[in-house]
Structure 1
Amino acid sequence: MSRPEALSPARLKDAAPLFAALGDATRLGLLVSLCASGPLTVTRLSGQFDVSRQAITKHLDVLAEAGLVTSARQGRERIWTFEPKRLEDAHQYLARLSREWDVALGRLKAFVED
């Protein structure tokens, strides 16, 4: 079994904010809401959570910095939209780690059986 190429430091640096953004229950809930309902305003989103509108905005800003959501002005409000590409990136990172673990476990099994 060949050993897969490790993730480069640059790729890991890119992945860290993504997983940090996904690691909060409120932010994860915001993503679920945006996935299920499509683009929404902070007002509409804040009605679904037990936190202030200001807190929702801060959570959305973190998600935006991670590339998971975007916003566009519409009149006096901002409309927030889910960006699926970054979630696909998270899936690819996790799949890569899974493959690396499979290879490591295969080496361990071969070592133990020898």
Structure 2
Amino acid sequence: MKDRFDRSHKKCIKYSVGQLVLCKGGITRVSANITRKLNGLYTGPYRVCKAEESLDRYTICSIKGMKGYQKFTAVVRGEVLRPFKSSIPDDSSGSDHEVDRDDLIDLLEC
């Protein structure tokens, strides 16, 4: 029975505190005139505030400075999270300055 479960379920990703993640639906409030069908599957990004890896539970919190920011924390299972991939292009062609994703988040939080 365990073998069948292990074959049909993917391994959980371990997230560290401070990592940015997306959460699979149902967290944010939706207005009455928008159907759930048209919403995105994942919401976020959120920051992992606390990790309980033995239970595969993570406390996520909203990032101050993001569009539509409201103070928010929730405890979620690891299987409903996925890593956040920044849409900022990686320019490794030798630019004069490099922008770190954490620096951008710190700038937004000010």
TM-score range, shorter chain: under 0.3
Structure number, greater radius of gyration: 1
Is the helix fraction higher in 1 or 2?
Answer: 1
Higher relative contact order (CA 8 A, sep 6+): 1
Is the strand fraction higher in 1 or 2?
Answer: 2
